[in-house]
A and B are shown apart, each in its own frame.
Chain A
Amino acid sequence: MVISNKTIATIGTDAVSEAMRQINPDVVAAYPITPQTGIVETFSQMVADGLVKTRFVAVESEHSAMSAAIGAASSGARVITCTSSQGLAYMWELLYIASGLRLPIVMPNVNRALSAPINIHCDHGDSMGARDTSWIQLFSENGQEAYDNTIQAARIAEHPDVLLPAMVLMDGFIISHSIDRVDILEDEVVSRFVGEYKPAFSLLDAKKPVSIGTFDGLYGFFFEFKRQQEEAMMNSFKIIKDIGKEFGEISGRPYDLFETVGMEDAEFAIIVLGSACGTVRHQVGEMRSRGIKIGMIKLRVFRPFPAKELAEALSGLKAVAVFDRSDTFAGHLGGPVFIEIRSSLYDLPKRPLIVNYVYGLGGRDLSMELIDKAVGELADIASSGQVKQLVNYLGLRE
C-alpha cells in the first residue's frame, strides 16, 4: 500500500490531540494539569470547532475524570482521558477499577514528578507507581511516538484477547512542550486502523441489561478475576507486536516491545526509556564509531514487561546499565526498571553484571557528560568484573 504521511512541526501534546481527533472517541473526560494541559486545551478546541463527534466532559477532578471514563466505557463508548502526576495519583483507586472491569480506556499520561516538594518537571515516578494496576504502559521517545502510541493503544486495549486499559507515556516538557517533526497519517487511514469499537457488554444495551461492578463478597471469585487480568497481560505481548507491525504497514514506522541499537556485537549495554533514549542513542552511536562495543535497548513496553525477550537480548553481555527516571525508595534496591530487568536475568545460565543509574528526577537534565560518566563506569565493570556500587544517582548534587 501507499504510505501517506503529512509532516508537521508540532509540540507533543498537540500531536496527541491530533491522534485523539483522528481516533474520534465517543467520550473524553479530562481535567487540566501541567504539563498535560495542552492536550485538553487543543482537544476542547477541536470539539468546539465540530471536528469530532466526541462528548467532552470537563470534570471537576481527575478522580471524576477516571470515574466518568469508567461510566462511559461501561456504556459501550470508546473513551479517552489524559493526565499527569498528581492527577494520576488522584485517580489511583480507579485505575484498578478500570482494569478490573476490563474497560479499554486509553490514557495519555504526560510524565511529571510527584510532590513533595512540588515540581512540575519530568520524571517517571507517577506512572511507575501505577505499574501494578493492570494497565498496559507504552513509553514514547518523542512526539512522533506519542502520536503513534496513542493510535495503537486504542487497538491494543480493545482487542478481545486483551481488554485492558492502556497508558501512553511521554516525558513532561521534554516531549509535551517541545516542537518536533511529526508525521501525521491521513484521517481515513487512522479511522480504518482503529476500526469500529464493538464492546462485549454495555449499560446501554436495552435488550440485555447488565450489572457492572458487583460485590464479590460471599462466593469469592476475586482471585479468578485477577488471574484473568494476568492472562490478558500475557496475551497482550503478541497483540502489541502484531499491532505494532500492522501500524508499520500503514505508516512506515513499525513498533515492537523494545528497540535495539548495536546489540549484535555489544559487550555491554544501556537500557533506557522515554525521551532520554535520544540522548543515549546519540552517545552510543558516537562511542560505537570509536570502536567501543556498546549497545542500547530502548524499552517501549513496560507493562506487560517483556522479561523473556529482554533476557535473551542481554544474555552474553558482560555488563548492563539500567537507567531509571524514578526511584522505589526501597533501601538500595534501585529503580523500577532496574528491579524488573535484574529479576528477568535471574534464570540466565550466565548473567551479565548489572548496575543501576537513577537520573533526571524532577526534570534534572541528563547531559551527554553524565552518560559518558556512566558508560565509563560500565566499561570498568565489564573489564574488572566488579560492581562497586549497585545503585548510582546520576547528576545528583553531592
Chain B
Amino acid sequence: MSTKLKDLVMKPEILSGGHRLCAGCGAPIAVRQMLMGAPDNVKLVIANPTGCLEVSTTIYPYTAWKASYIHCAFENAASTLSGAEAAYQSMKEQGRIEEDFRFVAFGGDGGTYDIGLQALSGALERGHRLIYVCYNNEAYMNTGIQRSGATQLGSWTTTSPHGSNSSGKKENRKDLTAIVAAHNIPYVAQASISHWKDLVRKAQKAFAADGPAFINVLAPCHRGWRYDMEKTVEIAKMAVQNCIWPLYEVDNGKWNLTTKVPKKQDVLEYLKMQGRFSHLFKEDNKHLLPIIQQNIDEEWEKLLKKCE
C-alpha cells in the first residue's frame, strides 16, 4: 500500500472537521494519520474511552465520526471493542454480515496506561482482531492535566505539582509499549504524529495483522505541556530526535528501529521549550536534569540492543 502523500490525501476522512478539540491538539492528527492506513475496502468501528477525543468529537446530537463509533466508559475501550469484534465474528460466521469490518480503539494514556490496562491486556491475550491506538499526551488532559503512568519524571501536572517539597513527578513513566510487546501479539509499534509516513506505514501493518495490534503514538498537548499551540508537531519531532520517544516496531516478535537517529540530541532543549518542565531549571530541582538524560540514554541503549 502507498504511503505517498498524493495517494493519502485522496483517502476519505473518517474524522470530519468541526469537532471541538483544541487548535494545535495532537490527538486528531494521530487519528487521521492512523486511519489513512486503513485498507480502502473495509468498514470501520471506532471506540473511545472517556477522554478529550470522545467528549470533543461526539457532542450529542452531533458526531464528527463518519464510521460507526462507540464510547462506553473510561477503562474499557478494549473490552467494549472486543465485544463488538466478537459480535462481528459471530454474525460473519452465520452469514449475516457481508462486509469486512476492522475495529480501532483510540485511547489516551490515562485510559490505556492506567485505568484501562487490564481491559487492554485481556483483549490482547484473547487475540481479538482489533487495533488499539494510544494517543499519548503523557497526562490526564481531559480532567485538567493530572499525572498518569505515562507522565515523565520531573514533569509538573496538577497532581504532581512542584513546590518546596516537590520537584514535580517523582516517578519515571512505565514502558507500556514493551509491556504490550510482552503479550506476543502480531504487531506493536511506537510512533509520533511528527513522522506521518512512519505512522501511516505502521497503521497499514496494524490493519494487515491477523490479530491484535497496538500503536503508542506521541500526541503532544499544548495545554498540558505548556508550549505555544503551533509547536505541537515540532515538539513531537524533537522527542524522536532526542530519543525520549524513539520510533520502533515489534513485528511478529522482531524489534526494528523504524526511524534512524543519526545525531542524538540533548534533551535539555526539549525540556526548555515546555512549561511543564520549567521548574527543573531552578536551583532546587536541577539535580533531576542529568537523571532524565541518563534515563533516556539507558533506555535508548537497551532499545538498540533489542533492535540489533
> Could you tell me which A residues sit within 8 Å of B by CB distance?
26-27, 29, 53-55, 57-61, 63-64, 67-77, 79, 93-94, 97, 203-206, 209-219, 221
| Contact call A68/B83, Cβ cutoff below 8 A | yes
Chain B 77-97: CB-based contact to A (< 8 A → 1; otherwise 0): 001111111111111011001
Residues of B within 8 A of A64 (CB): 76, 79, 82, 118-119, 122-123
Complex Cα gap A59–B260 (Å): 39
Q: Which residue of B lies closest to A70 (CB)?
A: B72
Is A72 a contact of B83 with CB atoms below 8 Å?
A: yes
Supplied contacts A71-B47, A209-B65, A218-B59, 5 more A-B pairs, CB within 8 Å = A59-B122, A70-B72, A71-B85, A73-B83, A215-B59
**Most A Cβ at <10 Å: residue of B58, B86, B91:** B86
Inter-subunit contact A209/B67 (CB<8 Å): yes
> Chain B nearest CB: distance from A132 CB in Å?
18
Q: Give B116-151 as 1s and 0s: 1 = Cβ < 8 Å from A's Cβ atoms.
A: 001101110110000000000000000000000000
Give A63 to B115 CA distance when docked, in angstroms.
12
Contacts of A219 in B (CB 8 A): 59-61
Q: A27-B83, A55-B87, A206-B43 are in contact. Are A221 and B60 (CB under 8 A)?
A: yes
Q: Which of B43, B59, B119 contacts A63 (CB 8 A)?
A: B119
CB < 8 Å A-B pair total = 169
With A206-B43, A211-B65, A215-B55 given, is the CB distance from A68 to B101 under 8 Å?
no
Q: What are 25 A-B contacts with C-beta separation under 8 Å?
A: A26-B87, A26-B90, A27-B86, A53-B93, A59-B126, A61-B122, A63-B118, A64-B122, A67-B83, A68-B82, A70-B83, A71-B72, A71-B80, A71-B85, A73-B87, A77-B87, A77-B91, A79-B83, A94-B72, A203-B45, A209-B68, A211-B65, A213-B58, A214-B58, A217-B59
Task: Give the interface residue-count category, chain B.
Answer: 35 or more
The residue in chain A whose Cβ has the minimal distance to the Cβ of B89 is A55
**B178 CB-CB contact with A under 8 Å:** no
Q: Is the CB of B69 within 8 A of A212?
A: yes
Residues on B facing A (Cβ under 8 Å): 43, 45, 47, 54-55, 58-61, 63, 65-73, 75-76, 79-91, 93-94, 97-99, 101, 118-119, 121-123, 125-126
In the complex, A64→B116 CA distance in Å?
Answer: 10
B112 to chain A: closest CB distance in Å?
Answer: 15
Q: Are A71 and B79 within 8 A (Cβ)?
A: yes
B229 to chain A, nearest CB (A): 22
Listed from nearest, the 6 A-B pairs whose CB atoms lie closest are: A71-B83, A68-B83, A60-B122, A64-B79, A75-B87, A77-B87
Known: A53-B94, A97-B73. A74 touches B84 (CB 8 A): yes
Chain A residues closer than 8 Å to B61, beta-carbon distance:
214, 219, 221
- Say yes or no: B70 contacts A74, CB within 8 Å: yes
Closest residue of B by beta carbon distance from A208? B68
Residue of B nearest to A98 (CB): B72
Assuming A204-B91, A214-B60, is B79 touching A75 (CB within 8 A)?
no
**CB atoms of B91 and A67 under 8 A apart:** no
Given the complex, which residues of B lie within 8 Å of A204, measured CB to CB?
43, 45, 68, 84, 87-88, 91, 97, 101
Q: Which B residues touch A77, using CB under 8 A?
A: 86-87, 90-91
| A29 CA / B119 CA spacing, docked (Å) | 13
